[in-house]
Chains A and B, each alone.
Chain A
Amino acid sequence: MGYTPQSGTGLLGSSPLRKEGRDKVLGASRYIDDQSLPGMWHGATVRSAIARGRIRSISYDPAVDWAQYAIVTAADIPGENTIVHLTRDHPCLARATVNHPEEPIVLLAHPDKTALLAGVRGVRIDYDPLPGVFTIEESEAAVAANDTERIIWEGSDAGGTANCFKQYCMYSGDAAETEAGLEAAFDTADFIVEGEYATGAQEQLYIENNGVIAECFRKPSGGIESVCVRGSMQCPFYLVHALTLVFDLPEDKCRVIQVETGGAFGGKEDFPSVIGSHAALLAMKCGHPVKMTYDRAEDMAATTKRHPSRTRHRTAVSKEGRLLGGTVDFAIDGGAYATLSPVVLSRGTIHAPGPYKWPHLRVRAKAMATNLPPHGAFRGFGAPQSLFGLERHMDKIARTIGLSPEELRRRNFLGTGDCTATGQPLNEPVDMQHLLTRALHEAGYHEKLARFTVENKTSSIKRGVGFASFMHGTGFTGSGERRLNSLVHLDLLPEGRPQILVSSTEFGQGTNTILCQVAAQTLQLPYDEITIARPDTSVVPNSGPTVASRTAMIVGKLIERASQQMLATLRAHAALPEAHTADDFHAAGLRYLAKHGTLRESVRYEPPTKIYWDDDLYRGDAYPGYAWAVYVAEVAVDMNTYMATCTRFDALQEVGKVMHPVLAKGQIEGGVAQGIGYALYEKCMWKEGRMMNNQMTNYIMPTSADLPPIHVHFEEVPSIHGPGGAKGIGELPMDGPAPAILNAIENATGVAFNTIPLLPEDIFERFTSLGHPHGGSEDLDVTVDRDTRTEAVEVTA
């Protein structure tokens, strides 16, 4: 509260009202399902009923009047039958085979939405089923046994091997030297600690389902002139790229407009390329605009989720608690097609070492194919998975060697000037020691640790505290930002006011607001003077996708530079005084426009000169900057109901300059809530590759009554790479909650759980299988970690 409009200096760090907020609280924002076009039809998808097989035939029930419907199959696609991400293995519509349940095969459109259900039911598809693989282990087993019947994916135009979309092997130094160092470390270690950790799929569960409206325009000759898709999405230019291939059209003939988007979280990064292409094909076929919106059940069953994962650690540790060397085997389940799995895997791999010094480290990573719908982007993008494994493993190491979780981490934290596992020197200040001290203090960790130990002895409610230390890289991984080569425009509108043009989208995180703050602060203008154009690819330049915590730092920096350029232009050519008022600015702007007609400042990304990444060696500066964090969870486990509840959460992070405290807190709290859901509530139930609980009724996300108080604390250490010193914060809060909560549950119960989600039935099963039906007694055997499939803790010396 306490908003006062501010201008220029001091605007970054204040909390002006969300740009589009007024329409949102009025209910006046127009989301895609609130819009329609004249003559619009409605579209629906006929999907695979089986996980894997050959399509024998497609037939149409004669009881349905098919003349009323537009029907699209793979044969109607004018260009390539592919939804391109990094590879071309993913068909737009299945032609001869299906590889996952709910794979789209036939599209239907009808003027009346209520007629679609009868149409979908009237399409009969017969299959010759083939055996499927549904887990990482089954997929690996097929490869190991060379079981050709279960090799479900054989490589693509962009590489990959049987059942494996992508592999990485990351070394902390020269490969041969690291292998030798690892051998020596494991030979001489006082302790060798092994563990296996697993995470489940997670549904993004944006409250607005996927939806688009597409149009197709014909040339007088009848050929396709252009297509236009508007809809709910994060990355308009991804959809442009997809449409150019499906329709064999140049980029400027594929127009995409992002409309108000009701949540995304990564779930609208790659998937709009699918639904957008489908709706455009139907528009082509029926000659009318076509709206496609999924209902909740279809959205949950057929669209992307977070990749399930398995992380295996083997770590050599000295008795003083120094990490001497480690190997990490990280595997994710990519689903049936490669989609974004290679880059999700990459971020997971690079985050696997965490904020620690590893003298010798090898991370082997792979993305396996299964007959599930393709998994995709979800906030954190691989990092929550590998960091869950690491931060649970750190607690296991601490327990094994007899140090506190705090002390073990303190002895291994990276600091300023140290190198990360990819060989990146940390030139900007990093103070994990201080972050840990402050986070534990804010959470009352030590006091609670002592108190709960006493109280738990006489209570059936076991309470505990735990924490996780971690970091999250801002921007695209490795050479990604160089390749994106992002471009922004800053225009001077005819009335002399600046307007930002970017393809960076608003879907709740605050893109509109923070970019306008950056421009206003740099241009020394009031916040209300700045507007931002709707992302319409016929109008805005490609400032890159709205992903990877990159908008504030990378795109924000471009807006800062464009604003500086505009100031310089107006000072040099329109007599704008050094210190100016908004009126001075308008006057100078109008003088400039009168003389030159228009003013557009365009700024392109320039890679920092000292940042370099080697894709072949997988070494170098993985990210321009990192946000650093320590999250502390307090839990209560009811030993009568086996329900674990998070009762308080403290999130401390160093994120550079906090641009907008209210939005920033909201980002952290929202991410923590999703992380609590990931740990304790949200379980995807699968049967033969199909999600069985694809409803909000039985897929449980946290409600307002489920969440504890979430206390957000910031440390601000300005970064040179972001505008006003800001770094990215969007994904960071997804990384820490799950391991912090499971560490706290181990503290509470004395039992190590290493698989999420962890629901009451999982806790019940574990305690009853331990032979302690009443649970919680003091003699629970904690030396054998039954949840960890690698059971032995090998102790040498």
Chain B
Amino acid sequence: MSLVQLTVNGTRQQVDVPPMKRLLDVLREDLALTGSKEGCGEGECGACAVLLDGVLVNSCLVPALQVNGSRLCTIEGVSTEGRLHPIQQCFLECGGAQCGICTPGMILATQHLLDKYPHPTMEQIQEGLAGNLCRCTGYMRIFEAVQEAAKVA
């Protein structure tokens, strides 16, 4: 077991877990943050995506030990006091969420994209979200949500 200290959504946390435990499982099991989802377990679908020190990562591929001392943002940290972040509001209004299982990862990928390119081109949006699979929407409503969010933010 290893003692891992990290800051999750602004709160300092400490967990005692096997060093190779997946960050995804640490979040879901040890910290009860179930917003990050497992879709494939091999870094293909992006449903478990989180921001690790500002970098978009698939938490199913990150061992717990590696996040010691890191700052983490999960979907639970995107809204403030129950108020939707503009990205969340745009996903809701544009129909960017259907079944909702890819939505947490997709919203974090959008946040990462807009941090990098506040006014992204369609190509940048398509590339920026290419690591997050959505089987419901065909992505068009998501693209619209991202463009709307770029206007609002």
Contact among B94, B125, B129, B138 for A1, CB-based, below 8 A: B94
Of residues 4 through 46 on chain B, the ones whose CB sits less than 8 Å from some CB of chain A are 28, 34-42, 44-45
Distance, CA A17 to CA B137, complexed state (A)? 16
Contact of B67 with A by CB under 8 A: no
> Are the C-beta atoms of A696 and B40 separated by less than 8 Å?
yes
Q: Mark each residue of chain B from 100 to 114: 1 if its CB lies under 8 Å from any CB of chain A, else 0.
A: 111110010000000
Asked whether, in the complex, the Cβ of B137 is within 8 Å of the Cβ of A701, the reply is no
CB distance from A706 to the nearest CB of B (A): 8
Given the known A-B contacts A207-B39, A665-B141, are A27 and B136 also in contact in the complex, defined by CB atoms under 8 Å?
no
CB within 8 Å for A673 and B139 given contacts A22-B84, A25-B88, A262-B37: yes
Q: Are B130 and A207 interface neighbours, CB within 8 A?
A: no
Q: Are B41 and A295 in touch, CB under 8 angstroms?
A: yes
From A3, A28, A31, A697, name the one whose CB has the most chain B CB atoms within 10 angstroms. A28
Collect the chain A residues with CB atoms within 8 Å of residue B3's CB: none
Does B59 have its Cβ within 8 Å of any Cβ on chain A?
no
Residues of A within 8 A of B148 (CB): 1
A593: Cβ under 8 A from any B Cβ: no
CB of A27 within 8 A of CB of B141, answer no
A262 with B101, Cβ < 8 A, contacts A670-B138, A704-B132 known: yes
Provided the pairs A263-B101, A673-B138 are in contact, do residues A1 and B39 lie with their beta carbons within 8 angstroms?
A: no
What per-residue 1/0 map shows which CB atoms of A192-230 lie under 8 Å from chain B? 000000000000111111000000000000000000000
B41 close to A31 (CB less than 8 A) = no
B150 within 8 A of A: no
CB-CB under 8 A from A15, the residues of chain B are 95
Contact indicator A25/B84 (Cβ below 8 Å)? yes
A666 CA to B36 CA in the complex, in Å? 23
* Known pairs A208-B99, A705-B126; A27 contacts B104 (CB<8 A): yes
Pick the contact of A27: B75, B133, B134 (CB < 8 A).
B75
**A696:B45 contact, CB within 8 angstroms:** yes
A-chain residues with CB within 8 Å of residue B89 when the two chains form the complex: 25
A707: which B residues are within 8 A, CB to CB?
Answer: 138-140
B79 touches which one: A26, A209, A662, A663 (CB < 8 A)? Answer: A26
Which residues 244-266 of A have a CB within 8 angstroms of B? 260-265
Task: Knowing A207-B47, A704-B132, A710-B138 are in contact, say whether A26-B84 is a contact too (CB < 8 A).
Answer: yes
Q: How far is the CA of A18 from the CA of B92 in the complex (A)?
A: 7
Pairwise interchain contact A507-B99, C-beta atoms closer than 8 A? yes
Q: How far is the CB of A671 from chain B (nearest CB, A)?
A: 7
The answer to whether A665 and B130 touch (CB under 8 A), given A22-B84, A26-B75, A696-B42, is no
Tell whether, in the assembled complex, residue A263 and residue B142 are in contact, meaning their CB atoms are under 8 Å apart.
Answer: no
Interface string of B115-136 (1 = CB under 8 A from A): 0000000000111011111111
Contact B92 A25 (CB under 8 A): yes
**Which of B36, B101, B132, B142 is packed against the most chain A CB atoms within 10 Å?**
B101
B92 touches A17 (CB 8 A): yes
Which residues does chain A contribute within 8 Å of B91, judged by CB atoms? 25
The verdict on A457 contacting chain B, using a C-beta distance below 8 Å, is: no
The docked-state distance in angstroms from the alpha carbon of A156 to that of B88 is: 52
* Least CB separation from B79: chain A residue: A26
A309 close to chain B: CB less than 8 A: no
Residue A277 at the B interface, CB < 8 A? no
Q: A662 and B94 in contact (CB under 8 A), knowing A261-B99, A262-B101?
A: yes
Which residue, of B47, B126, B136, has the highest number of chain A Cβ atoms within 10 A? B136
Q: By the criterion CB–CB under 8 Å, are A704 and B38 in contact?
A: no
Query: B53 near A: Cβ within 8 Å?
Result: no
Distance in angstroms between the alpha carbons of A371 and B6 in the assembled complex:
50
Residue interface mask A703-742, B partner, CB < 8 A = 1: 1110101100000000000000000000000000000000
Q: A31 vs B39: C-alpha distance in the bound complex, in angstroms?
A: 12
Q: How far is the CA of A697 from the CA of B92 in the complex (A)?
A: 30
Inter-chain contact A27/B76, CB cutoff 8 Å: yes
A669 in complex: contacting residue of B99, B126, B133, B141, CB < 8 Å: B141
- Most chain-A Cβ atoms within 10 A of its Cβ — which of B89, B139, B148? B139
Closest chain-B Cβ to A198's Cβ sits at a distance in Å of 24
State whether the Cβ of A754 lies closer than 8 Å to any Cβ in chain B.
no
Among B37, B84, B93, B98, which residue has its beta carbon within 8 angstroms of that of A31? B37
Distance in Å from the Cβ of B34 to the closest Cβ of chain A?
4
| CA A209 to CA B99, docked complex, whole Å | 13
Which one of B47, B97, B125 lies within 8 Å of A21 (CB-CB)? B97
Q: Is the CB of A662 within 8 A of B135?
A: no
Instruction: Please tell me if A33 contacts chain B, counting CB pairs below 8 Å.
Output: yes
Q: How near does chain A come to B48, taking the closest CB pair, in angstroms? A: 11
CA distance A532 to B138 in the complex (A): 27
Mask: chain A, 492-521; 1 = CB below 8 Å from B; 0 = not: 000000000000000111100000000000
Determine the chain B residues whose CB is within 8 A of the CB of A264 once the complex forms: 99
Q: Using Cβ atoms and an 8 Å threshold, which residues of chain A touch B38?
A: 33, 295
* Beta-carbon contacts under 8 Å, B48-83 to A: 74-76, 78-79
Q: Which residues of A contact B95 (CB under 8 A)?
A: 15, 18, 662-663, 665-666
A207 touching B97 in the complex, CB below 8 Å, given contacts A704-B130, A704-B132? no
> Which residues from chain B contact A448 at a C-beta distance below 8 Å?
none
The verdict on A581 contacting chain B, using a C-beta distance below 8 Å, is no
Residues of chain B within 8 A (CB-CB) of A26 are 35, 75-76, 78-79, 84, 88
Q: Which residues of B contact A262 (CB under 8 A)?
A: 37, 99-101
B97 A18 Cβ-Cβ under 8 A: yes
Give the distance in Å from the alpha carbon of A265 to the alpha carbon of B132 in the complex. 19
CB-defined contacts of A265 to chain B, threshold 8 Å: 135
Question: Is the CB of A233 closer than 8 A to any CB of chain B?
Answer: no
Residues of A within 8 A of B138 (CB): 666, 669-674, 707, 710
Cβ-defined contact, B84 with A207, below 8 A: no
Contact B103 A25, beta carbon cutoff 8 Å = yes
Quick check: B44 and A666 within 8 Å, CB to CB?
no
Per the bound structure, the CA–CA distance linking A603 and B49 in Å amounts to 45
Give, as a whole number of angstroms, the nearest-CB distance from B14 to chain A. 22
Q: How far is it, in angstroms, between the C-alpha of A31 and the C-alpha of B68 when the chains are bound? A: 29
Q: Within 8 Å CB of A22, what residues of B?
A: 84, 92
Pick the most buried of B39, B45, B75: most chain A CB atoms within 10 A of its CB. B39
Return the chain A residue nearest B107 by Cβ: A25
User: Residues of B contacting A696 with CB < 8 Å?
Assistant: 39-40, 42, 44-45, 133
Residues from chain B with a CB closer than 8 A to the CB of A157 are none
Q: Is the CB of A701 within 8 A of B140?
A: no
Q: A665 to B107, alpha carbons, bound, how many Å?
A: 20
B135 A701 Cβ-Cβ under 8 A: yes
Chain A CB within 10 A, most for which of B34, B96, B127, B144? B34
A666 near B139 (CB under 8 angstroms)?
Answer: no
Residue numbers in A under 8 Å from B99 (CB-CB): 206-208, 261-264, 507-508
Q: A573 contacts which chain B residues (CB < 8 A)?
A: none
Closest residue of chain B to A203 (Cβ to Cβ) is: B135
Give, as a whole number of angstroms, the nearest-CB distance from B70 to chain A.
Answer: 20
Q: Is A569's CB within 8 Å of the partner chain B? A: no
When chains A and B are docked, how far (Å) is the Cα of A602 from the Cα of B74?
Answer: 44
Nearest residue in B to A206 (C-beta to C-beta)? B135
Q: Is the CB of B137 within 8 A of A666?
A: yes
Contact B141 A695 (CB under 8 A): no
Give the Cβ gap from A705 to chain B, nearest Cβ, in Å: 4
- Asked if A580 is at the interface (CB within 8 A of a chain B CB), the reply is no
CB neighbours of A663 from chain B (8 A): 95
* CB <8 Å contact, A296 and B41: yes
| B-facing residues in A34-49 (Cβ within 8 Å) | 34
> 9 nearest interchain CB pairs?
A27-B35, A262-B101, A508-B99, A24-B100, A673-B138, A27-B75, A508-B98, A669-B138, A696-B44
List 24 A-B pairs, Cβ < 8 Å. A1-B144, A18-B97, A22-B84, A22-B92, A23-B100, A29-B100, A31-B101, A34-B28, A204-B135, A205-B135, A207-B134, A265-B135, A662-B141, A666-B98, A669-B138, A669-B141, A670-B138, A696-B45, A703-B130, A703-B133, A704-B126, A704-B127, A707-B138, A710-B138
Q: Enumerate chain B interface residues (CB-CB to A < 8 A).
A: 28, 34-42, 44-45, 47, 74-76, 78-79, 84, 88-89, 91-104, 107, 125-127, 129-144, 148
What 5 new A-B contacts, CB under 8 Å, besides A265-B135, A510-B98, A666-B138?
A15-B95, A21-B100, A25-B92, A26-B35, A26-B76
